[in-house]
Chain A
Amino acid sequence: MPSFKGIFQGKQKFVTVKAGRIREEAPDGLWTKCERCGGILYKKELTQNLGLCSDCGFHFRLSARERIAVTLDDGNIVEYDDELLTVDPLGFPGYDIKVEGAKQTTGLEEAIITGKGTIDGYPVLAGFMDFSFIGASMGSVVGEKITRLFERAARKRMPVVIFCASGGARMQEGMFSLMQMAKTAAACARLSGTRTLYISVLTNPTTAGVFASFGSLGDIIIAEPGALIGFTGQRVIEETIRQKLPPGFQTAEFALEHGLIDMIVARRDMRKTLGSLLSLHGGRRQDAG
C-alpha cells in the first residue's frame, strides 16, 4: 500500500503503483493488453493493424467479421445460409439463454459466417468461425452451414477456405453435434472427389471435434503463428498423465514440427499466400481490371 502520508513527511518522494493496476484502470473499450508481451495497445490501432500486437507481433483473436474484413477483398462477402437458427434439441437446461446471450454479445446468429467472396481477386467460398460465440463450438447449425458450403463448392467447383477456431462440439446439442463431425467430413469427402481445393486455416484455438473433423481435412492446412491446435484439452491431458505439459505444447509451431500441418502463415501474409495457392490450383482472377 503506497503511503500518501509519507510523501508529505518527505520520507518518500514517490508513490509506487503496481503496473497491473494501471492496466486494470485503463478505460474499458479503448485500450487492451497484449496477452503475450503485456504491452498496452490502443484498440483502434490494433484493429487497423490486423489484430497484431505492434510490439511483439502477437496474433490477437479476430471475430468472424474482423476476419472477413482482413481476408476478403474489400471485406465483401455474400453470405449464405444465415437464415438457419439454433434450436435446443435436448431441452438442455440453460442452453437457450446461452445462445441468446451469445447472439447479443457477438451480433451473430451462430458461431460461423459462410459465404462467397474473393481473395486477391480469386473467387472462393469461405467460412469464418467466431470463438466469441460459445467457443465457436459446432452444433447443428455450424455443421449444416459447413456442409452446405462444401456441397455448394462441389457443385460450382469453387475452392473453399475455412478459418477454423473452436473449442469442439457443442455439448448442449448432445449427439446431434457429435454427428456434425461425420456430416461435415462426408461433405468434405465429396468435395474432394470433385478435385476441388479446400484450404483449412487453423486459428487460435482450433481443438477437439473441429480439429478432428473438417479442420484437419484440408488439402492444405495452414495455421496462424502461436495458435493452439490439438485434440484433447490441456487440462485433461495434465490430469491424465499427472505432469505439467512442456511449453509450446499444441501450438502451431509444435504442430508444424510434428508434421501435422503444412505451414504457418503470419496474418500479414495470409491473403497473399492464399492468393498464390488459389492461383496455383487454377484460380482465375475475377477483377483483373
Chain B
Amino acid sequence: MTNLALEFEKPLVELEKRIEDLRQFGLKKGIDLSDEIAILEKKANALRKEIFENLTPWQRIMIARHPKRPTALEYIHLIFDEFIELHGDRTFRDDGAIVGGIASLGGRPVTVIGTQKGRDTKENIARNFGMPHPEGYRKALRLMKQAEKFRRPIVSFVDVVGAYPGVEAEERGQGLAIAGNILEMTKLSTSIIVVITGEGGSGGALAIGVGDKLIMLENAYFSVISPEGCAAILWKDGSRAQEAADMLKLTAPDLKAEGLVDEVLPEPQGAAHKDSVAMAGVIREAITRGMDELSGIPLRRLIERRYARLRRIGEFAVREISESDLPMAAAGNGDMQGTSDLPNVEGGTDES
C-alpha cells in the first residue's frame, strides 16, 4: 500500500486499511473473519470502481502528476525488447529532461524519444523535473532526423508540465526550438506515434507531440495552458485551478470526443502507477497495432495524411458574403488614412 494516496482516494485507503487490520486481527486471534473481510472487499471494489469511473478533470490531473506515475524510461524498458540510449544535441549539452535512442519492438527497429521526469529529488534535479531546455528539443529532433534517414518509425512518450521557463532557455531560443521541432515533425518522412502518458503541457509537449497517431492514457491530459496558469489569468487566483481544469476540456476522453486524439488507453485499476507492467503491456499492444497500420501506408500518402489531419483542426463559422459586401474588402476604420477602397479585382475568393 502506497502512502502517496491522493486526496480523493482517502476513503478507499481507509477501507483497505480496515480490511488489512481485520485480517491481521483474525490471524492473531485465530478467528475466521473471512465473511466480514469478503463483505468489506466487495465494498472496497465498488468504491474503487465508483471513484475511478467518475474522476473529475482535476482528479485526473492529480493522477497524471502522481510522483509514482511511470516515467518514459520505465515504459521504454518494459515495452521494448532492447533499448540503446543516445545522448546530446551535438551542439550544446545533453539535456536529461529528454531521453531517446534506438529500440527494438518485436524485432522491428524504432527510434524512441520522450520527456523524462525523475523519481526522487536528486533525480528530478538532474532531469530538471522533466522540463526540457532548447537543447533537449534539439536532441529529440536530431534523433528523429536519424530515424528518418534510416526509415525507422518514431515513438514519442510525452509527460511534461511544460518547456522549462528559465533565462538560459530563453537565451538559447526555446520558442525557436519548439517551432523547429513542430515544423519538422509535420513533414518527417517516417511514421510517428505519440503517446501522452501523463502531462501534455502546451507547446513544450507539442514540440515532440506531432504525429500520425496520437494516443493518450486514460488519465493523461493535454492542454493549451496549465489549469493553474489559466486560473491565474482569469481570476488572478491560481488556486482556482480545479475550475479552470473543468473548462479547458483537457482530459483524454474529452479530447477523444472532439476528435483531437485517436485512441485512449484504459489504465489498470487505481491508475497506471498501481501496475506499470500491465500498463506497459497495453501501450505496447497499441503501439504495435499503430505501427502495423501506418507501415502499410506509402510514405508520400502518410505525409499527405499527416498534413490533412492537422489541416482540419479548428472550429469557426463562415459568414455568408452578400454582393453588397464585396466592394468593402479594403474598407479602413474611419480614422486611418490610406486604407482606401480598392477596386474589387478578386473579390472574396482568390484561387488561381
Q: Are A173 and B333 in contact (CB under 8 A)?
A: no
Closest chain A residue to B234 by CB distance? Answer: A94
Q: Are B313 and A241 in contact (CB under 8 A)?
A: no
Q: Are B315 and A87 in contact (CB under 8 A)?
A: yes
Q: Are B317 and A190 in contact (CB under 8 A)?
A: no
Q: Which B residues are CB-close (under 8 A) to A232?
A: 163, 165-166, 169-170, 174
Q: Are B313 and A85 in contact (CB under 8 A)?
A: no
Q: Which B residues are CB-close (under 8 A) to A26?
A: none
A46 at the interface (CB under 8 A from B): no
A69 at the interface (CB under 8 A from B): yes
Q: Are B311 and A186 in contact (CB under 8 A)?
A: yes
Query: How far, in whole Å, are A77 and B182 apart by their CA atoms in the complex?
Result: 31
With both chains docked as a complex, state the minimum distance between the C-beta of B199 and any C-beta of chain A, in angstroms.
14
Closest chain B residue to A178 by CB distance? Answer: B224
A168-212 interface code vs B (CB 8 A; 1 in, 0 out): 011101111111111101111110010000000000000111011
B342 at the interface (CB under 8 A from A): yes
Q: Are B223 and A174 in contact (CB under 8 A)?
A: yes
- Segment at the A interface, from B81-89, B288-296, B343-351: B343-351
A41-72 interface code vs B (CB 8 A; 1 in, 0 out): 00000000000000000000000011011000
A212 touching B174 in the complex, CB below 8 Å, given contacts A169-B225, A189-B187, A217-B179:
yes
With both chains docked as a complex, state the minimum distance between the C-beta of B217 and any C-beta of chain A, in angstroms.
16
Chain A contacts with B in 125-181, Cβ cutoff 8 A? 140-141, 143-144, 147, 152, 155-156, 169-171, 173-181
With both chains docked as a complex, state the minimum distance between the C-beta of B205 and any C-beta of chain A, in angstroms.
9
Q: Which of A86, A180, A181 has the most chain B CB within a 10 Å cutoff?
A: A181
Q: Are A75 and B338 in contact (CB under 8 A)?
A: yes
Query: How far, in whole Å, are A175 and B175 apart by their CA atoms in the complex?
Result: 18
Contacts between chains A and B (CB distance < 8 A), count: 233
Q: Which B residues are CB-close (under 8 A) to A80?
A: 348, 350
Q: Which of A93, A107, A143, A174 has the most chain B CB within a 10 Å cutoff?
A: A174
Closest chain A residue to B224 by CB distance? Answer: A178
A96 at the interface (CB under 8 A from B): no
Closest chain A residue to B207 by CB distance? Answer: A212
B336 at the interface (CB under 8 A from A): yes
Q: Are B329 and A78 in contact (CB under 8 A)?
A: yes
Closest chain A residue to B334 by CB distance? Answer: A107
Q: Are A237 and B170 in contact (CB under 8 A)?
A: yes
Q: Are A76 and B174 in contact (CB under 8 A)?
A: no
Q: Which of A79, A209, A245 contacts B203 (CB 8 A)?
A: A209
Q: Which B residues are CB-close (under 8 A) to A215?
A: 175, 179
Interface size on B, residues (CB 8 A): 69
Q: Which of A65, A93, A208, A258 contacts B332 (CB 8 A)?
A: A65
A180 touching B314 in the complex, CB below 8 Å, given contacts A232-B169, A240-B165:
yes
B202 at the interface (CB under 8 A from A): yes
Closest chain A residue to B319 by CB distance? Answer: A83
A280 at the interface (CB under 8 A from B): no
Q: Are B224 and A216 in contact (CB under 8 A)?
A: no
With both chains docked as a complex, state the minimum distance between the C-beta of B261 and any C-beta of chain A, in angstroms.
9
- Segment at the A interface, from B64-72, B99-107, B244-252, B267-275: B244-252
Chain B contacts with A in 187-219, Cβ cutoff 8 A? 187, 202-203, 206-207, 210
Q: Which of A156, A175, A250 contacts B258 (CB 8 A)?
A: A175
B8 at the interface (CB under 8 A from A): no
Q: Are B203 and A90 in contact (CB under 8 A)?
A: no
Q: Which B residues are CB-close (under 8 A) to A237?
A: 165-167, 170
Query: How far, in whole Å, are A214 and B185 apart by their CA atoms in the complex?
Result: 14
Query: How far, in whole Å, are A90 and B260 apart by their CA atoms in the complex?
Result: 13
With both chains docked as a complex, state the minimum distance between the C-beta of A138 and any C-beta of chain B, in angstroms.
10
A231 at the interface (CB under 8 A from B): yes
Q: Are B333 and A107 in contact (CB under 8 A)?
A: yes
With both chains docked as a complex, state the minimum distance between the C-beta of A209 and any C-beta of chain B, in angstroms.
6
With both chains docked as a complex, state the minimum distance between the C-beta of B304 and any C-beta of chain A, in angstroms.
11
A282 at the interface (CB under 8 A from B): no
Q: Which of A86, A175, A236 contacts B260 (CB 8 A)?
A: A175
Q: Which A residues are CB-close (under 8 A) to B314?
A: 140-141, 143-144, 176, 179-180, 183
A260 at the interface (CB under 8 A from B): yes
Q: Which B residues are CB-close (under 8 A) to A92?
A: 247
Q: Which of A87, A90, A182, A230 contacts B186 (CB 8 A)?
A: A182
With both chains docked as a complex, state the minimum distance between the C-beta of A66 and any C-beta of chain B, in angstroms.
6
A74 at the interface (CB under 8 A from B): yes
7 further A-B pairs in the complex, CB-CB below 8 A; given A80-B348, A171-B225: A85-B316, A169-B202, A169-B225, A207-B175, A211-B175, A232-B174, A249-B167
Q: Would you mind naming 12 contact pairs between A and B with Cβ atoms under 8 Å apart?
A: A75-B332, A83-B321, A92-B247, A140-B313, A171-B248, A174-B250, A179-B206, A186-B307, A216-B173, A216-B176, A237-B170, A258-B172
Smallest CB-CB A-B distances: 5 pairs: A75-B338, A140-B314, A216-B179, A186-B186, A231-B175
